[in-house]
Structure 1
Amino acid sequence: MRLLYFLLFILSLIAAAPRAAHARQITEYRPLRDPVADRSGRPLWAVRSFKEDGAPHRLVVDAATLQGFDLPASDLVPRAEGEAGFWTTRLGRAVKRYTAPPYRLQNGGATRAETATDGFFLTVDLCPSKRRFERELFETAEALSPGKAVPVAVMVTGLWLESHPEEVAYLKGEVAAGRLAVTWVNHSWHHHYDPKAPLADNFLLAPGTDLRAEVLQQEQELLARGLVPSPFFRFPGLVSGAAAMKLLAELSLVPIGADAWLAKGEQPKRGSFILVHGNGNEPKGIKLALPLLKGTEVRLLPLSAAFGD
């Protein structure tokens, strides 16, 4: 009997583990675009409505700074502005510009800074993988500015989040310690890939793909872990089409491409969006990135700084 109780106790711990990993329960998740203000009077745009552990919340974006926040709905009040006002903001103009035709099959959206800059933008893809997490990449980036939070955009998939709790905890710890300033970028939920399929039928363009679910499910996964989604999205494989771009516009998201995918031999220049994989899938890119990040003149910038006023 004691053995039975012990086994039941172990099973209860196992059953509770997923709930512990998802400290917050996100339900009734839906897109919207409402002008609101916080308690200080700061103008914001509510882009998602949901309940967090049963309490009404909003995912809001400061359309001037491109920063997102998870706020209780009770902390927000409506603003007397029509939805059309969104498209006159810094964020709205970026969404409109980078989701507009012509639609390229690969590397659509923003690929580098809009204006001249003296720095680079490090974007790290975390696609589904069972390989070793590239912690050295983040440690090397942190060494660029000891004592300061180094900006990096982490393009993360839902399946990677689910299967790498220790690595997620590491990144959250580095942010809490003030060593990293992470912009959490949606990289889809599944990141489907078929090496035998043509690009036009691959990644998010694969037949039967639910584009909306791929985007919104991943946002919920981030929020469940206390991570705030940014207003940016990176297409898996940098592959997209008209329907996908139109969906991002509807969801108030800016697509992020790259002009310096290191493993493909693309050379970064000032203002480049550097693309590397931090999931162990592309060691060539990491091998090239490490000496670059050890350069004395390298300065990393937050992704939001790539967009004009």
Structure 2
Amino acid sequence: MLRLILSLMLCWLPLVAMENIKRYEVFVKEYEQNGVLWLISRRFELSDVTFYLTTNTQTLQTKVLALDATKLLPLDDRFERSLFAKRLKEATALHVNGGATHALTQNPNAIYLSMDLCPSSKKGYESDFIAHLTKQNGKIPIAIALSSAWKEHHEKEFKELVNNLLLQITWVNHSHTHFYDPKLPIRDNFMLHVNTDVKSEILGVEKTLLEEGITPSVFFRFPGLIADEKLMRELREIYFLIPLGANAWIAKNEPIKTGSIILIHGNKNEPQGIEILEKKLPEVVKTYQFHPLQEAFIP
């Protein structure tokens, strides 16, 4: 049995293509290994083996691991003192702007590019922009905020992004259905809608990614960057996800500054943002460098 578990720890990614994940659920514990404290936030079954979605509380990197359940402990003061707990508390403190809008650490000339993939009836994605970006700048770290509803109708495009070796992707949870009704006021829209199933919206994307062999990050972006105090509290106390806002929504002509979290849409629903950023790129890359999203939150 031990040999089987060790084997599955190494090859669980290919296995997901053969069968679906079962009993995916919130499961909160902590686990220490070699002096490193890990947060356990989810549990699921695959090939009759239990796996856990874990987060390194110092680097914010996530991993899927098969662990000895007897070594998983309730959260204690060690977790409360961790960098992850601190960043989680800071990012969920205010619901305005949907979470952290800029880097919480000082990293001179660093900027952080994020691209939302909200549901869209348009075919394709902003592939020309991606090609231009990488041709001019080489491998680019980018946070892609994915809704399952976009992936469902853009499987080919999703695969192209996953297999693009010039993209260093951090996969951000952008909700399962990304509900939006243009007839409703903002206060009743997106995830503030009365019928929102928060659990399904959050866990649905994670399960979608895991079944593609992709480990979800610890970041969540609210649709429309719209949230309230209750949603932020749930994100902090139940789901342990850092909400990601933006202070450089390019289509709104918000300026790029050191530490900016940049927001563009890759689903072809906001072409003006793509056009503006393409024009700005030559000057932007003279002054700033694109960094992986995690670096906005760690020293």
TM-score, normalised with respect to structure 2: 0.86
For residues 117-196 of structure 1, what are the structure 2 equivalents within 5 Å? 117-131=108-122, 132-146=124-138, 149-174=139-164, 177=165, 179-196=166-183
In structure 2, the CA distance between the partners of 1:51 and 1:201, relative to structure 1 (3 Å rule), is same
| 1:164-210 CA distance string (max 9 Å, x none) | 11112111211xx3x21100000000111111211110000011111
Q: Which of 82, 88, 94 is residue 87 of structure 2 equivalent to?
A: 94
Q: What are the Cα deviations for residues 219-271 of structure 1, in whole angstroms up to 9, with x where unaligned? A: 10110111111111000000001221111102110100000111112111111
In structure 2, the CA distance between the partners of 1:35 and 1:169, relative to structure 1 (3 Å rule), is same
Q: What letter matches 2:294 in structure 1?
A: S
The answer as to whether partners of 1:222 and 1:228 remain within 8 angstroms in 2 is yes
Q: Is the 8 A contact 1:234 1:257 kept in 2?
A: yes
Q: CA deviation at 1:161?
A: 1.6
Give the letter for the 1:123 counterpart: S
Secondary structure of the corresponding residue to residue 124 of structure 1: strand
Question: What residue number does 2:244 align with?
Answer: 256
Q: CA deviation at 1:96?
A: 1.1
For 2:226, the equivalent position in structure 1 comes to: 239
The 1:78–1:293 alpha-carbon spacing in structure 2 relative to 1, beyond 3 Å, is farther
Counterpart for residue 301 of structure 1: 291
Q: Which residue of 1 aligns with 2:71?
A: 78
For residue 136 of structure 1, what is the amino acid of its counterpart? D
Question: Structure 1: which amino acid aligns with 2:220?
Answer: F
User: Aligned match of 2:39 in 18, 41, 45?
Assistant: 45
110-119 vs 79-88, greater mean Cα deviation: 79-88
SS at match of 1:30: strand
**Is 1:287 equivalent to 2:275 in the alignment?**
yes
Q: Secondary structure at the match of 1:73?
A: coil
Query: How many Å separate the matches in 2 of 1:23 and 1:91?
Result: 34
Runs (5+) with no aligned partner, structure 2: 1-14
Q: 1:24·1:226 contact (CA, 8 Å) conserved in 2?
A: no
Structure 2 residue identity aligned to 1:167: E
Preserved contact between residue 30 and residue 49 of structure 1 (Cα < 8 Å): yes
* Residues in 2 aligned to 1:205 and 1:44: alpha-carbon distance in whole angstroms: 31
Matched residue SS, 2:86: helix
Indicate yes or no: 2:196 matched with 1:209. yes
Q: Secondary structure of 1:60's partner?
A: strand
* RMSD value, Cα: 2.2
Aligned position for 1:59: 53
CA contact (8 A) 1:144 1:294 kept: no
What is the rounded CA distance, in whole Å, between the counterparts of 1:192 and 1:64 in structure 2? Answer: 33
**Structure having the higher Rg:** 1
Q: Is the 8 A contact 1:24 1:223 kept in 2?
A: no
Aligned length: 280
Q: Is the 8 A contact 1:87 1:96 kept in 2?
A: no
1:277 to 222, 240, 265: 265
- Deviates further, 186-195 or 40-49: 40-49
**Aligned counterparts of 2:23 and 2:143: Cα–Cα separation in 1:** 28
Q: Letter of the aligned partner of 1:199 in structure 2?
A: I
Residue 35 of structure 1, aligned match among 19, 30, 43: 30
> Which residue is 1:198 aligned to?
185
- Closer, same or farther: CA 157–23 of 1 in aligned 2, 3 Å: farther
Q: Deviations over 1:126-168 (max 9, x none)?
A: 001121310122223323543xx42100000011122111112
Residue 133 of structure 2 aligns with an amino acid whose one-letter code is: A
Q: Percent identity?
A: 35
How far apart are 1:27 and its partner, in Å?
A: 1.3
Closer/same/farther in 2, CA of residues 53 and 159 from structure 1, 3 Å limit: farther
In structure 2, give the amino acid aligned to 1:97.
Answer: E
Alignment check: 8 A CA contact 1:36 1:77 kept: no
SS of 1:287's equivalent?
A: helix
- Between 76-85 and 267-276, report the one with greater CA deviation: 76-85
Confirm or deny: 8 A CA contact 2:16 2:210 kept in the other structure. no
Q: Distance in 2 between matches of 1:278 and 1:225?
A: 20
Q: Distance in 2 between matches of 1:159 and 1:150?
A: 25
Distance 1:237 1:169 in 2: 25
